[in-house]
Amino acid sequence: MNGNKIKKTAIVAAVVLLAIILSATCFYTVDDKQQAVVTTFGKVSDVTDAGVHFKLPFGIQKVQKVDVNVYHKFELGYTPNEDGEGYKVNADEAAMITGDYNIVNIDFFVEYKISDPVAYLYASGDPVTILRNLIQSQVRNVVGSSSVDAVLTDGKESIQMQVKDLVTQILGEYNIGLTLVDVKIQDSEPPTMEVIEAFKAVETAKQKAETVVNDAKAYQNAQLPQAQAEADKLTQNAEYLKQNRINEAAQQVAMFEAMYKEYAQNPGITKSRMYYEAVSKVLPGVKLYINTAENGSNMQMLLPLESMVTGGNNG
């Protein structure tokens, strides 16, 4: 009896141990940042997402977990110090030649994600190294067609965009399971202190020039309203003088037309009147008398010019 008991106990223990081993080798867990690539006899058979999953034991199926929902990063041209303060420049990676044959040191920060876990694991031997070399190659390509001023000052954003576009295009042609998220220039500077100081002086001069231009624009904006008001005033005055001249000319035309009409009706009288008016203007305050007797007449009459002109004006 004791022998049978021991035998049964051993069998139960073996079954429990086997169940524990099977449960340990047949189930696996994938977290929410991962995907798991399942291979059956060495061939990819499934890709699973987050959760608990079953696989065949004894090496029939194997599982490799890949962090797909995580941003990965690496540096080009520099290595951060272990204490987190400062960095060390990698001259072999950082030194580049610009399109105008100047040497500069450029440091890049790269972010990428694993977009295809199967391609990431099996399409190449080391996809991260391939991405690193690809970015460095395209960086040198873009910097080699840019001016040193653009690299050191206001052309950094354009260089970053060009590098990202070129690398993304190549990754689309040769799928290694990675997607480039971002490429940023951390720093760019000439290799010697003398050149650094010269570029700093150039940048300072540019900033001063921008300040002068901004001050000039501010002065322009302040003076324009006053100048516009003065121009409007002159325009209004000129318009007033123009209209006044037009009115005077119209008045003179009307007077001339009235005089001509009167002359056409009574030429002799009108001539005499115009003559008397002219004489009174030339000789103001002088009394003149006109002999109105006809030739051959013994009677002479003197007419006062003043009364005639006055009467004519009243008429």
User: Per-residue pLDDT for 289 more than 70?
Assistant: no
In order of 139, 145, 166, 184, the CA distances from 142 in angstroms are: 5, 5, 9, 14
On whether both 14 and 120 belong to a single domain, the answer is: no
| 131 and 119 share one domain | yes
- For residue 314, the model assigns a pLDDT of 47
Closest CA relative to residue 113, chosen from 181, 66, 17? 181
Percentage of the chain modeled with pLDDT above 70: 81
Q: What is the DSSP string of 239-276?
A: HHHHHHHHHHHHHHHHHHHHHHHHHHH-HHHHHHHHHH
pLDDT tens string 94-115: 889 899 888 888 999 999 999 9
Give the CATH number for residue 84.
Answer: 3.30.479.30
Of 191, 225, 244, which residue constitutes the final position of a domain? 191
pLDDT value, residue 141: 93
Which of 33, 65, 97 marks a domain boundary? Answer: 65
47 neighbors 35 (Cβ within 8 angstroms) = yes
Tens-place pLDDT, residues 21-54? 666 678 889 999 999 999 999 899 999 999 989 8
Domain shared by 270 and 305, yes or no: yes
* Mean pLDDT score, 281-310: 56
Read off the pLDDT band of 20 (50, 70, 90).
Answer: low
pLDDT of residue 30: 93
Same domain, 90 and 183: yes
Instruction: Decide: 47 and 37 in contact? Cβ < 8 Å.
Output: yes
Confidence of residue 15 (pLDDT cuts 50, 70, 90): low
pLDDT at 76 over 50: yes
- Let me know whether 104 and 179 are in one domain: yes
Q: How far apart are the C-alpha atoms of 30 and 309, rounded to whole Å? A: 125
Residue 176 sits in the same domain as residue 201? no
pLDDT higher at 259 or 304: 259
Candidates 106, 103, 107, 108; CA nearest to 195 is 103
93 and 184 together in one domain: yes
For residue 291, the SS3 value is strand
Q: Are the beta carbons of 32 and 10 closer than 8 angstroms?
A: no
The mean-pLDDT minimum among 62-66, 118-122, 221-225, 273-277 falls in 273-277
Supply φ then ψ for residue 80, to 5 degrees: -65, 145
306 with 238, same domain: the answer is no
What's the structural domain count of the chain? 4
Least confident range from 14-18, 63-67, 145-149: namely: 14-18
Asked if 185 and 211 sit in the same domain, the reply is: no
Average pLDDT over residues 169-174: 93
Nearest to 112 by CA among 131, 139, 133: 131
Read off the pLDDT band of 159 (50, 70, 90). very high
Q: Is the pTM of this model over 0.85?
A: no
Task: Give the pLDDT confidence score for residue 261 in this predicted structure.
Answer: 78
What is the pLDDT at residue 307? 52
Predicted confidence band at 128 (pLDDT cuts at 50, 70, 90)?
Answer: very high
Residues 171, 79 share a domain:
yes
Instruction: Please provide the size of the chain in residues.
Output: 315
Residues 113 and 184 in one domain: yes
pLDDT band at 299 (very low <50, low <70, confident <90, very high): very low
Considering the domain architecture, whether residues 114 and 92 belong to the same structural domain is answered as yes
Rounded mean pLDDT, 83-102 = 83
| 77 Rama sector, left if φ>0, alpha if ψ -120 to 50, beta otherwise | left
β-strand partners of 109 = 75, 184
Question: What range does the domain containing 48 cover?
Answer: 2-65
Angle at 213 between CA 212 and CA 216, to 5 degrees: 85
Residue 116 has pLDDT above 90, yes or no: yes
Q: Where are the beta strands (DSSP E) in 25-131?
A: 27-30, 34-40, 43-48, 51-54, 61-67, 72-76, 78-80, 87-89, 95-97, 103-114
Mean of the per-residue pLDDT values for the chain?
A: 82
Q: List the single range of 105-114, 116-125, 185-194, 224-233 with lowest mean pLDDT.
A: 185-194
User: Hey, is 30 helix, strand or coil?
Assistant: strand
pLDDT, tens only, 225-247: 888 888 888 888 888 888 888 88
pLDDT of residue 296: 47
Q: Has residue 288 got a pLDDT over 70?
A: no
With bands split at pLDDT 50, 70 and 90, how would you rate the model's confidence at 223?
confident
